[in-house]
Amino acid sequence: MKSCKTAQRQRLIFAYTAVCILTVALLCRLAYLMLFKADYYGSKAKDVQQRERSIKAERGIIYDRNGVVLAGNKPVSTISVIHNQITEPEKVISALSEILEIDEEKVRKRVEKVSSIERIKSNVDKKTSDKVRDLGLDGVMVDEDYKRYYPYGNLASKVIGFTGADNQGIIGLEVSYDSYLQGEDGCILTMTNARGVEIEGKAEDRIEPVAGNNFYTSIDINIQKFAQQAAEDVLVAKKAKSVRVIMLNPQNGEIYAMANVPEFDLNSPYEIKGQEKMSQEKLNEELNKMWRNGCVSDTYEPGSTFKVFTATSALEAGVVKETDTFSCPGFKIVEDRRIRCHKTTGHGGETFVQGVQNSCNPVFMETAARLGTDGMFEYMDKLGILKKTGIDVPGEAATIMHKKENVGAVELATMSFGQSFQLTPVRLLSTVSAVINGGTLITPHFGVSVESSDKSVVKKLEYDKIESAISEQTSERMKPILESVVSEGGGKKASVDGYKVGGKTGTSEKLPRSSNKYIASCLGFAPAENPVVLALVLIDEPEGIYYGGQIAAPVISKLLDDALPYLGVERKKEEPEATKQP
């Protein structure tokens, strides 16, 4: 009996102890939750009780070098519905369908969908969104937003690029510098009850958006207009497939203008002629073609403009001098091949400088033979031909070149005058810049600086450069040679009154050779003794006359004639013949 009472007492003590321990544990847990986790669970409760509506951040503005807006923003609205707050669904469906011009069934699906918030339409202009707001419909939200706007329409469209519905960059500078241009979205937080209905009288919490950084480019809107107009004129005159123009500062790589005609309207980037008859696959293909930046993404055989590289390499290597003499019978036999000069009757005896002026293929084939395969590849490496430039827009294509071990005498000969390999226009200009700027290999670029929305400087942009790619002496020897091409040789139509212009023309036959399709090109720079602008023009598949010296050189003349005075380079009046010293 006694042992039974003892056992009972022990059970009571155990139970009491267990209850005490459990109570202490619960109190400790409660104290932990109330004291140490109060902020965490308070935030959780707030998340459940609050509905969040986004406030879009204003995207950073893109400017030209002089502060002209190239890409800005227009205030628009996003129309949304909150299912639990809609009191007159049929009225909402009818009104939104009519005002926003959306099929009624599409609106109905969104209105009847049980969700916290459902977007009906984005990028709604202010006039339309004001009509929706004035109706005062329960459950319909009109939130502020921004839409990208391009004041110059199709100007430099393939360079600037555009944004998608989410305001993220799609192509061009908009995507390259997207991380700078994008801001931080804000939001509006409203209190709701358990059924998701907003509680009247409760103040909204508002987190303000942070605008994106502004981006300054090297583009000069006026020089871009010069370039694009010149390209459009020759496109129409020659009924060409396309025309590409690049104008840059060869001293530092800043690009003043880049035109890829035909361009497209940045404010309507998805509109294309005849799209209603295209399959989605075909439409996507045509849009990608329309958006493609041919100056950066497309390679071509440079033809005789590449002779600038061959001549520079030979002078730098010391295998040729300006006074060396050559003979051109109109062709050169290389192994089993008879490779012609463009002048089939031949140039006869000529110096190296005259060979450059005449763009004589046999002279360059002989020069390349002296340089040798090893020498040719050594200077292609030094002058960047085998590498991408690193330009700050997406989609740069690499040079398509023979493997060194596969280059025989014939390949070396055709390479010397710009055939049997391909590079991009921007790659050629980067290399030519080093030839005429004293030997520094620059990175062509558009970016100059990034600033916060309050105009305080965030970052000055810098780009790689390689000094002494060639010697300054070789650069100083090449400039007068190229100037003589325009003053005395095949580039005469690139000349500009009052300025010394250097340059080189080119004509390349597209593959397959049997197609009889050509690219006419010309590059030019001025002033020849200290260049501030270097330009390249490519006319793709012109009708009729297709020689670069005949149809591309005049475009260079027009571009430089417009750009040089604008850049502040004084035009020098020629001394009258009677007063010149004998």
Catalytically active residues, by annotation: 304
Distance, CA of 429 to CA of 380 (rounded, Å): 14
Distance, CA of 171 to CA of 174 (rounded, Å): 6
Type and span of the H or E element at 327:
strand 325-328
Distance, CA of 80 to CA of 122 (rounded, Å): 9
Distance, CA of 314 to CA of 353 (rounded, Å): 12
What's the one-letter identity of residue 471? S
Residue 366 tokens, joined: 């002989």
Distance, CA of 466 to CA of 433 (rounded, Å): 12
CA 262, 179, 258 angle in degrees (round to 5)?
A: 25
What separation, in Å, do the N-terminal and C-terminal C-alpha atoms of the chain show?
Answer: 147
Three-state secondary-structure class, residue 264? coil
Distances, alpha carbon 394 to alpha carbons 30, 161, 174, 325, 410, in Å: 57, 10, 10, 45, 35
Distance, CA of 182 to CA of 142 (rounded, Å): 22
Dihedral angle sign, alpha carbons of residues 446, 448, 450, 451:
negative
What's the one-letter identity of residue 123? N
Type and span of the H or E element at 41:
helix 38-49
Which residues lie across from 210 on neighbouring strands?
A: 184
DSSP-assigned letters across all residues of 63-130: E-TTS-EEEEEEEEEEEEE-GGG-S-HHHHHHHHHHHHT--HHHHHHHHHS-SS-EEEEEEE-HHHHH
Q: Are 82 and 51 in contact (CB under 8 A)?
A: yes
Structure-token match 């490519």, residue found: 538
CA 158, 429, 441 angle in degrees (round to 5)?
A: 120
DSSP-assigned letters across all residues of 510-525: PSSGGG--EEEEEEEE
Type and span of the H or E element at 260:
strand 255-261
Q: What are phi and psi of 571, to 5 degrees?
A: -80, 130
Three-class HEC string of 22-38: HHHHHHHHHHHHHHHCH
Structure-token match 């459990």, residue found: 22
